[in-house]
Structure formats: C-alpha cells, structure tokens
Amino acid sequence: MAGNEDISKLQQQRIEKSEKIRGLGIDPYGSRYDKDIVPAEQIKQNFVEDDQSQQAGCAGRIVLLRDIGKLIFLTLRDSSGSIQVGLSKKLLAEQWDFVKLLELGDIIGAKGQLGKTRTGEITIWADDVAMLGKSLLPPPEKFHGLADVDMRYRQRYVDLWANPDVMELFKKRSGIVASVRDFLQQRKFIEVETPMMQSQPGGAAAKPFVTHHNALNIDLFLRIAPELFLKRLLVGGMERVFEINRNFRNEGLSRQHNPEFTMLELYQAYADYNVMMDLTEELIVGLVQEHCPSAQVEFNDMTIDFSTPWRRAKYADLLTEYAGCDIEDIDAVRKKAQQLEIPQSKMDDAVVINEVFEATVEQHLVNPTFVYDYPAAICPLTKTKKDNSQIAERFELFIGKMELANAYTELNDPKVQEENFRRQLRGQEETMATMDADFLNALNYGMPPAGGLGIGIDRLIMVLTGAASIREVILFPMLKPLSSGE
C-alpha cells in the first residue's frame, strides 16, 4: 500500500472530487436505494441468453475501473459477489460529467439493460447511476487485497470487500452457527441468555476481567463461563438448555486463543457424558456434511478424517501410550515432567499429570478423538465414577491437535460440590475466584443428573474452514495497540 504521505495526497484529491460531485448537485453520500436492486450473483444466475428485455439493478463498491474515453467498465462488488457495469456516454449523456468523477472504492447504484460483452461478460449497461457513498481513502493497490495480515485484522472493514474469500469465510461462519442452533432446537433444546456481568466469576479456572458498576458501587466480572447460571436453569425445570455467546478470559493471545471468544454451552437433564459424546459427534459430523466438500478436511497442513465412528480413548491409556508412564506412578510422571522442563515444585500431583498429558499427548490427536475419564482432582464440577472416586466422568474432544470441546457428567450433590469448591479455591487468589453460595443454594433445592457440554465455536469454525489462526474467524480480534507513528 502507499505510504502515509502518498495516502494524504490521494485523500486530498478524492476530497476535491467529492466537492466537484457536490457541485453538480449530487450528494456524495446518497440516500435510500433499494428499489429493483438485486444481489450481483443472483443477477448473473437469472441471466437469460438472447433476452433483450432484461433489466437489472445493483448496488455495491467499485473494485475495478477501466476508463476508455466514452466508455467506462466498472466491477461492482456487493456481499454476494461482483458484476460488471458498462457506462457509456451515449446512455448517460446527462450524467457523464458525474460518472467521469467515479473512483475505485466508491459505492454506487446502477440500473439498466442486462446483456453480454463480446468477451462473454454479463454486464449491466447502465442508463442510470446513483452516488451512494464516496470513498475518501484509496483502496489496496490493484485491488489484489490487503496483504499485511495485521492490517487486515485492524481494518476488517476493508478486508471484507478487498478480499472476497474473507467475506465468504464469515458468511460460512454465520451458516455454521445457524446450523448448530437448528440442530439443538430440533432436539428440543431451549436457547437462553445468562449474565455476562457477574458478581462472582465461576464455571472455569481462569482469570477474569474486572469492571465496576457505579450505581451499586460494586465490582463485577465479565464471565469466564455461563455454566453455573445454566445449571440454575436445570434446577428451575428447564431440562434442555443452550447458549451461544461470549466468554471473557484475561489471558494471553495466540493462534488458538483470543481473550473474548464464542462458546456453545448446553445441558441436558437425565443424561451423562456418554450422551454428550454421542451428541457432539452427531452435531459436528452433520456440520461437516452440510458445510464441507467431504469428510476429509484440510487444516494446518493436516488432513482430518471426520468419518465415524470417532476414536474414544481413556486419558490414562493415552498418557501411557505417549508419555510412557503410568498415571498411578506419580514418581514416574514427575520424572517425565522434569525431562520436559515443566516447573512442578508447587504443583499438585493431578496438575503435574495434566501438564505432562498436554505436553506429550495432544500433539498426536489429529483425527477426532474423545479423551475421557480425567483425574477427578482437576474436575471440581464433575461427577466421579461410582467404582473409582479418583476418576471424573469427563471428556475433551481433540481435533487437529487442538481441544475443541469439554463435557461432564454434572455434579449435583451440594455437599460434594461445596467441598470441591473449597479445595479448588486454595491457591487461586489471583483468579479472584470465590465461593458461589447462591449456586450451592440452588443445588440444595435439587438438580437432576445431567450431561453438560461446551464447544469453542471459534475453534470449530477454524477447523471447518481450514483457517490457521483464530483471528481469521473472529471479525474483530484482540490486537496489540499500534505504537505512535504506525
């Protein structure tokens, strides 16, 4: 792209053209223009060869412009695609002074007869052009799109129209989320909304963002998870609930992490983690069938095979397979942690085990794999197995070496839950986690046995679209502030 001085000069030239347009009695920023307007792709799909009576109207941004004297060819791009518009002095005699002032990036409307050029390009031969939005900044050079990845994220408003593939990705994201909703609603799940500002952060082990409510003079926390509120709804008699919404965790940035992210979280009364496993597989396989070309999806130089049945493997077995140590032999696990240079001096045994698991196992889980039966000590909201209180009925789904979903057989014993909360809070002062007494009070009224599931929507979209970074699938990801002068 041009340097700042060049952009300022070009911007000034565009401002001058805007004033010339205004001098012709035309508002550079237009007004309502929706009558007889059809998406570009629909116009092309509906085109009938040799029909000289076809009329068409379209509105969009000028992304290509060829001025050859008494004839101008434009490419208009809207959210559906693009179409060529032909402007001739013969058809637009009264508007010719105006159309000669049009530039790349301007937003216009055009109506006229639909036909084809000698090269076979479907074209609107405009007999009326409307100015709808003047672009005072030049678009990316030659409209090949924004090449600077950081700038693409910062200026998504340019990225979307400069790079058609980006527009298609976010339309696909919208379609995938709609399919998730449809899947759950067909199975009688009710969509709900729970508080994003909470007096106590809970439902996950993470550091929250803190804000302040002036009227009540209290600190509040942006939620790290909706779990404890959704479970309150189980107590209230909503037997199948889900929420697709934002969570906020005051943690780092990476290709897989954004501090503000979208989660699907759902709960089903009278179910367990096995039901959640089946539901998860059915949901994602359905999404692949609807939104991907085949069951083999390319992601981060991996080919992921979504063919069923998916692998289901015990946590302890995978630890033995890839770390070479028995989960019961904590000395061997700690020795492995030392080899991996994992700091462990103040870590509980279960945390060390999980650190070794993450370092040795996850990199091997390419195809969809349900890892189940986690150490109970790291699962404070989960029921344990009846025959082994050290094992929690929990699974995580890994796809493409990345955790995509987390599910439990939900703990509904208030006494055990309070004990787990107290144990979890020890040493977690910096997360600001506190005991949620009202949630315990709700459990004392009785919560049915249930299965719960959380799926990271952003990561799911990454896998289904082949996006290498979570920033590619979030319209406005968190970015480091620009330094002065950038």
Q: List pLDDT tens digits, range 40-88.
A: 999 999 999 888 899 999 999 999 999 999 999 999 999 999 999 999 9
One-letter amino acid for residue 366 of the chain:
V
DSSP string, 27-96: -TT-----TT---HHHHHHT--TT-TT-EEEEEEEEEEEEE-SSEEEEEEE-SS-EEEEEEETTTTGGGH
Q: List pLDDT tens digits, range 337-346.
A: 999 999 988 8
Question: What's the pLDDT at 203?
Answer: 82
Please give the mean pLDDT across all residues of the chain.
Answer: 93
Flag whether pLDDT at 256 surpasses 80: yes
d(CA 112, CA 188): 49
Q: At what angle do helices 227-235 and 437-444 cross, to 10 degrees?
A: 20
Looking at the chain, the whole-number percentage of residues with pLDDT higher than 70 is 95
Count other Cβ atoms within 10 Å, centred on residue 257: 15
Question: What's the pLDDT at 151?
Answer: 87
162-310+367-473 in CATH: which number? 3.30.930.10
Domain edges within the chain: 4-143, 162-310+367-473
Residue environment code for 432-452, b if the CB has 16+ CB neighbours within 10 A, otherwise e: ebeebeebeebbeeebeebbb
Q: What does the pLDDT average to over 112-136? A: 96
Flag whether pLDDT at 139 surpasses 90: no
Q: Do domains 4-143 and 162-310+367-473 have the same CATH topology?
A: no
How far from chain centre, in Å, is Cα 1?
Answer: 28
Q: Tell me the pLDDT band of 318, cut-offs 50, 70 and 90.
A: very high
Question: What's the pLDDT at 142?
Answer: 46
Question: What's the pLDDT at 143?
Answer: 42
d(CA 414, CA 294): 46
* Positive/negative CA dihedral, 121, 126, 131, 137: positive
Q: List pLDDT tens digits, range 273-302.
A: 999 999 999 999 999 999 999 999 999 999
Encoded tokens for 167: 């527009």
Fold topology of 4-143: OB fold (Dihydrolipoamide Acetyltransferase, E2P) (2.40.50)
Question: What's the pLDDT at 50?
Answer: 83
From residue 408, how far is each of 237, 383, 400, 413, 453 by CA, in Å?
19, 7, 22, 14, 7
- Helix (H) or strand (E) run with residue 122 in it: strand 122-133
Flag whether pLDDT at 429 surpasses 80: no
d(CA 235, CA 232): 5
Contact 83, 75 (CB under 8 A): yes
Question: What's the pLDDT at 144?
Answer: 47
